[in-house]
Amino acid sequence: MTFGRPAELASFAAMKAVEVAVREASGLDKSLVGVRLMRAAFQPHKNGKAGGPLADAEAEGGEQEAASALFAGAIGAYKNSPSHRTLKRVVCPWCLRRLSPSGPTAA
């Protein structure tokens, strides 16, 4: 796999690390990857039914849905896409500063 730009490589590496951490923390099967893994891990608790292992049962339903969407969307946009093609989009510089190995820097 080749990457067109350092930002593309950085976003892919960061999202891969998130995917690995979510898989380990959730204990879910290794056959679940990407967006499917995030949706299973953060499945909201509804109508008395248990949700995913990483869903916050104490959070309001909308907040649980938002966490699921956040993780699934990030993986879908910044890990899945560069795995299959060279991206033309500009990655948010603010986001990249927060994902850098040296940590967040001043805006």
> How many angstroms separate the CA atoms of 82 and 8, rounded?
7
pLDDT of residue 68: 96
> How many angstroms separate the CA atoms of 83 and 68, rounded?
21
pLDDT of residue 4: 56
Structural element, H or E, at residue 81: helix 81-84
- pTM (2 d.p.): 0.71
β-pair partners for 46:
49
The residue count of the chain comes to 107
pLDDT of residue 107: 45
What count of other Cβ atoms lies within 10 Å of the Cβ of residue 69? 14
Query: What does the domain layout of the chain look like in residue ranges?
Result: 12-99
